[in-house]
A and B are shown apart, each in its own frame.
Chain A
C-alpha cells in the first residue's frame, strides 16, 4: 500500500483524488437532490395554508444559529465547540460565552486580538471581526452557542445585538 493509498483510506471524504474521480457522479447526485428538494418544497408550500404570522421562539433562533455556526464558527471552534488547544478557545463552559452578553456580542462584532487568559488559558490565534453578519444572525448564533455543547443560558435577542452595534447616544 503506498502512502497515498493509506492516506486516502484515512481521510476518504477529504481526499481530492476521490473528489476528482467522483466529481461527475457527485454533480449528478447534487442535481437529483436539488430537483427532489424543489419537489418537496412545492408540496409543502401547497399543503401549508397561510393561517397566522408565525411567532419567533428561542428554539427557532437556536436552530437558525446552527446554520450560522457551521458556516462562520465551526472551522476554528470545531464541531463540538471544543476549540483547539492553545490556539482557538473552547465555547464549552466558556465564561465569555455564558456570562456577559454584551461582551460576547462585542467579540463577534469586533473580533479579538488580545493576548489575555480566557478561563486561565492563553490562545494564540486572532479572531476576525464578524460585523458583516446581520443582527439577527449574531443573535441566532449566540443563542445557539449558549445552548449547545452542554451550555445553558438565555438566548440573545436582535435588540441586544443592535444595542452593542450602535450604542445609544445620550440626549442632552
Chain B
C-alpha cells in the first residue's frame, strides 16, 4: 500500500515537472489577461526597487559592484526593456525609497538620502547625506528596509540578530532569554525624521517591537498606516523534535502581515503564530510545547501565511491598470524557503491579498509563480530566481526584482 502511495506521489511529481514554460511570460505563471517580460537581467543581487513618477528606476543591490550599490535604469526606447543609465552609492544594501524630492537608500548599518532634481535624477551621486547611522548589524537579519509616511517620518527595520533569542542562538534545546535583551536595539521598527542628519538610536523611537525581522513593508495610503511582513522563526522541528514533527516544522510558524501603530508588539521571541489554529502560541524556548497558547497582549496578524516562505517585499497596489479587484490590495514577494527541509521548499512566488476597507478579506492567491524554474525545489540554491522587491510604475505595471540572477520582471494587464 505504501508503495502504491509512493508511486502515485512520484508519478504526480513527474507529471507536473516542467509545468512552467520558459518561453511564455518570461517563464512565469500569471493570471489570464496579464503579460510578463524580463525588463532587465543581471542587475546585481537586486533587492528593493523604487520608481519615480516619470519612470526612473532605482534598484538597490545587496553587494556593491565595482563600488556602486544603487543602479539607475530607464526604458530609453519605449520597448519595455530597461537599460542601466547610471550607478552610484558606495555600499550595497536592501532599502530604497523616493519621497518628496529625495531618494533614500540603506546599507546594512546606515540610511542615506540624495536630493533629486525636477526630473527625479540624483543631483550629486557622490555626496549623500547620512540621515541615520550606527544601526546594529551582526550579520543575521541585517537588512535595513525603509518606508516613509506622509508626515516627514522614515521607518527602518532593525532585525533581531537571533532566531528566537536563545541563550545560544540556534542551539537545540537552548532556553530563551527573558526578558530578551535584543529587543532594546533590534527586533522592531524604528521611526526617525526623514530630513534630520546623523540620527541614531537616541534620536528615533522604537515604533513597534517584538518583530523578528521585517524585510517587506509598505505605507498604506488608504489607512495611512504601516503594514509589515514578518519572517517567522526557524527550527521548531530541528530544535524541539519532542513537540514538533517535520510537517509542523515546515508549516509553522506562520509568516504574518501586521498593521502597526506606535507601541505595537508582535510578541517575538515569546510567541509564534499558528495560522491553522488562528492562535498565538508560546514559543518552546519559553516553555511552549506546540499546544500552550501565548500571551494575549501581543498583536494579532491581519492575515497569516504558511511557514518559511520568506516575505521580502510588500506593495499596496494603487494603480488603475489592473482590474478593480487589485486596487488597494497587497502584493507580497515571497523569496522562498530553506527551513521547510527535509520536506520540499516553498515560496518563490508573488502573492496577491485582496483588501476591503483597509483590511484583508481573508483570501489570498498566488499571482505570479515559476520564479524558481522548478515545480519542486528541494534545495534553496537550486531556485533560478528569487523574488525580492516590488514596485508599481506610473502606468500601473508591477515590477518584481530577483536577487539571485538580478532579473527585473514587468507584469502588465492587457485583458487578452
Q: Which residues of A contact B (CB under 8 A)?
A: 2-3, 6-7, 10-16, 19, 28-29, 32-33, 70, 74-76, 78-80, 82-88, 90, 111, 113, 115, 122-129, 132
Residues of A within 8 A of B75 (CB): none
A-B contact pairs, 5 of them (CB 8 A): A14-B247, A78-B341, A78-B381, A79-B342, A79-B378
- A3-B351, A124-B141 are known; give 9 further A-B pairs, CB within 8 A: A3-B363, A6-B366, A16-B251, A75-B237, A75-B339, A79-B341, A79-B378, A88-B338, A123-B139
Q: Which residues of B contact A (CB under 8 A)?
A: 1-2, 5, 9, 12, 62, 138-142, 163, 168-172, 235, 237-238, 247-248, 250-251, 276, 306, 338-344, 346, 351, 363-366, 369, 378-382, 404
Known: A14-B340, A15-B251, A115-B139. A78 touches B171 (CB 8 A): no
Q: How far apart are the CA atoms of A10 and B346 in the complex, in Å?
A: 8
* Inter-chain contact B381/A129, CB cutoff 8 Å: no
Main secondary structure of the interface of B (DSSP, over half): loop
Q: How far apart are the CA atoms of A14 and B276 in the complex, in Å?
A: 13
Q: How far apart are the CA atoms of A85 and B337 in the complex, in Å?
A: 11
* Inter-chain contact B235/A75, CB cutoff 8 Å: yes
Q: How far apart are the CA atoms of A154 and B214 in the complex, in Å?
A: 43
Q: How far apart are the CA atoms of A137 and B163 in the complex, in Å?
A: 26
* Inter-chain contact B1/A86, CB cutoff 8 Å: no
Q: How far apart are the CA atoms of A28 and B380 in the complex, in Å?
A: 33
User: Nearest CB to that of B250 among chain A residues?
Assistant: A14
Residues of A within 8 A of B351 (CB): 3
Q: How far apart are the CA atoms of A142 and B392 in the complex, in Å?
A: 48
User: Nearest CB to that of B381 among chain A residues?
Assistant: A82
* Inter-chain contact A74/B341, CB cutoff 8 Å: yes
Q: How far apart are the CA atoms of A128 and B12 in the complex, in Å?
A: 37
Residues of B within 8 A of A3 (CB): 351, 363-366
Residues of A within 8 A of B338 (CB): 75-76, 78, 84, 87-88
Residues of B within 8 A of A13 (CB): 9, 343-344
* Inter-chain contact B276/A16, CB cutoff 8 Å: yes
